[in-house]
Structure 1
Amino acid sequence: MFAKIRLHTALFLVSLIYAGTYSLAKDIMPHYMQPLGIVTLRIAGAALFFGLLQLVVAPGERIRGRADNLRAIASGVLGIGLNQLSFFAGLNLTTPINASLLQTVSPIVVVLASAVLLKDKITLPKLAGVALGTVGAAALILSRPSNGAEAQNALLGNLYLLFNATVFGLYLVIVAPLMRKYHAFTVLARIFLVGGVIAIPIGLPQAIRADYASFPLYIWGEIGYMIFFLTILAYLLNNWALKYATPALLGVYIYLQPVLAVLIAVATGKDQFTLDKAWQAALIFVGVWLVSKKPKPTASPAPAPASELAAE
């Protein structure tokens, strides 16, 4: 019982941390710091943390072999570098609710990437889910922001976030064999190092230009939240929970995250939830549910009882 409570607590905290990010980041961007500057602070802090942690927890372990090293590089480029750059660039331009809903299309990308890279079969329900999710995401991307919502360029921001969901879905497929073969901290230390090589040179000028002396205390708190809670704690909790959670349970929390994000965005006045967003979200949710649904195993028919044979 206690193990189940710990698992649900970890998954809920991960969902809550991600959900809060969509609204809190809007306080920082673009007035106090540009999006790529935040990415630089996040990745630099996480790379240092996971690098030191790996030295303590798994000091002798290294990613070995050409294939695994190429996979680690691809994971760092997609899952850390491009993922973080596109997420914050997109969130800076669009609204928190749009951003949170578009993040849920990652399972659809995972299904398509698995079909191409791992030769997994796409069933008819999964194909229908891809179609519904695509229609919902397209409608959301092309929609206009709600009245009062903060959006500099919603269309471009939504496209950035669609790209973000795509590269993150690819990352999940590519990194999975590494997570099964090596210690999680060994993998995280390597991919954050690779991501830092990609993202830090791009975002460093924005990080340097920020006027840190003008930051009020709550902005410092939100930047600390981005570095510790979003980048470090969420990764640690997520990796631990993935070892014990069933696909069905993970699916529940996939849907919980945007719900929490909507509640936080509306409560803090960062966005408004409209009927248009409701049906767009419904299409995406149904699509994700269909692609995440496991096909029922086909069992060989059991011999019919004598009474049934007689009835036939």
Structure 2
Amino acid sequence: MSKQVQVHGALFLVAVIYGSNYSIAKEVMPAYVGPYGLIVIRVVSAAIFFGIFSRLVIREKIVGWADNLRSVLCGFTGIAINQLCFFGGLNLTSPINAALLMVIVPIIVLIFSAILLRERVSLRKVSGIVLACAGAFLLIYSSRGESNSGNLWGDLLIVLNAASYGLYLVLVKPLMQKYNAFTIVSRIFAVGAVIVVPFGWQQVIAPTYSSFPTEIWWAIVFMVLAVTIVAYLFNTWALRYANPSLVGAYIYLQPLMAIFIAIGFGKDVFTLQKGIYALLIFTGVYLVSRTR
């Protein structure tokens, strides 16, 4: 199997996992575990797993002041801010709104790539940015109505999450070219765990876990193992062989999976209005991601 096929396979699996997460997470929070408590469970579990594996198997250290500082910034953007905003936003808004707004990640990647990596931005890409941002703005603006399944503040948190994740994809790329994927993921989860624990510790100790139904436990296991450990590892590994824009472009699949699963579980509805705004977003992201 060629490396290119492996990279696309890893990114596709990540998109499927993330697409499923929108509805599965809504089953758990806030009825059983608060959004920030769920983050602490996920991030601390992953930090322990990756920390032990990296120390016992990989035995590689990040060297140099610049690389260590960059890895800490990746922990801030890729774990702490990203997760706090995502679950805080998803707790307020609908699964479909959250998934559609996450599509703007490639736009964020392009903007930060232009600023930090000096990537050239063409007129076509500028047009794509304008279209995608217009679609995202209209989706957020329409969430002001009480009858809408979305939520204004929830949608804004999802956009902030997308911006943080897009910056993370750009920041982590140079590290992935120098170190093993486990080394990087271990460091960023360790940094993220230190930051998120104060936000969610009270929500971790509040629930009566013995009363949780079996399906809720399976949902938590899925979010820890698949969404946190497998998805982050595959995504970070793929960055070694793919540019940040390609990884960001795979965000296309998340809304499709999220829509099918949310409707299947009866957690959300896909309206014509959302479809029009989604078309604007998808068209804009296509213009940004298309290469000659």
Common fold: TM-score over 0.5? yes
**CA gap 1:156/1:31 in 2 versus in 1, 3 angstroms:** same
User: What's the offset of the Cα at 1:12?
Assistant: 3.0
The 3 A distance-change label for structure 1 pair 181 and 87 is same
CA 117–240 in structure 1, closer or farther in 2 if over 3 Å, else same: closer
- Report the CA distance shift for 1:175/1:250 in structure 2 as closer, same or farther (over 3 A): closer
**1:30 is aligned to 2:30:** yes
SS of 1:105's partner is helix
Amino acid corresponding to residue 54 of structure 2 in structure 1 = Q
Q: Which moved more, 1:249-258 or 1:171-180?
A: 249-258
Q: Deviations over 1:84-142 (max 9, x none)?
A: 01000000000000001111101101111111222222110110011011101111111
Match status 1:193 vs 2:190: yes
Shift of 1:31: 0.7
User: What are structure 2's unaligned runs of at least 5 residues?
Assistant: none
Q: Is the 8 A contact 1:148 1:271 kept in 2?
A: no
Pairwise CA RMSD: 2.3
Contact 1:150–1:270 (Cα < 8 Å) also in 2 = no
TM-score under structure 1 normalisation? 0.87
Whole-Å separation in 2 of the counterparts to 1:249 and 1:291:
11
1:162 is aligned with what amino acid? V
Letter in 2 for 1:215: F
AA matched with 2:13: L
Unaligned runs of 5+ in 1: 297-312
Summarize the Cα distance change of 1:5–1:176 in structure 2 as closer, same or farther, 3 Å threshold.
closer
Match of 1:46 in 2: 46
Q: Distance in 2 between matches of 1:259 and 1:52?
A: 35
Query: Within 1, Cα distance between the matches of 2:26 and 2:108?
Result: 27
Percent of pairs with identical residues = 50
Counterpart Cα distance in 2 of 1:102 and 1:270: 17
CA distance in 2, matches of 1:155, 1:10: 33
Separation of aligned partners in 2, 1:69 and 1:243: 18
Aligned to 1:225: 222
Q: Is the 8 A contact 2:113 2:170 kept in 1?
A: yes
Distance in 2, matches of 1:259 and 1:270, equals 15
**Alignment correspondent of 1:71:** 70
Question: Is 2:92 aligned against 1:88?
Answer: no
Which residue in 1 is equivalent to 2:235? Answer: 238
Question: Which TM-score applies when normalising by structure 2?
Answer: 0.93
Asked which structure has the greater CA Rg, the reply is 1
Distance 2:63 2:242 in 1: 29
The one-letter code sitting in structure 1 at the alignment partner of 2:161 is N
State the one-letter code of the partner of 1:220.
W
Shift of 1:240: 3.7
Q: Report matched runs for 1:1-312 at 5 Å.
A: 8-59=8-59, 61-144=60-143, 154-243=151-240, 253-294=250-291, 296=292
Q: Which amino acid counterpart does residue 113 of structure 1 have in structure 2? A: F
- 1:103 & 1:252 partners in 2: Cα distance? 11
Displacement of 1:7 in angstroms is 5.0
In 1, are the aligned partners of 2:105 and 2:251 still within 8 Å (CA)? no
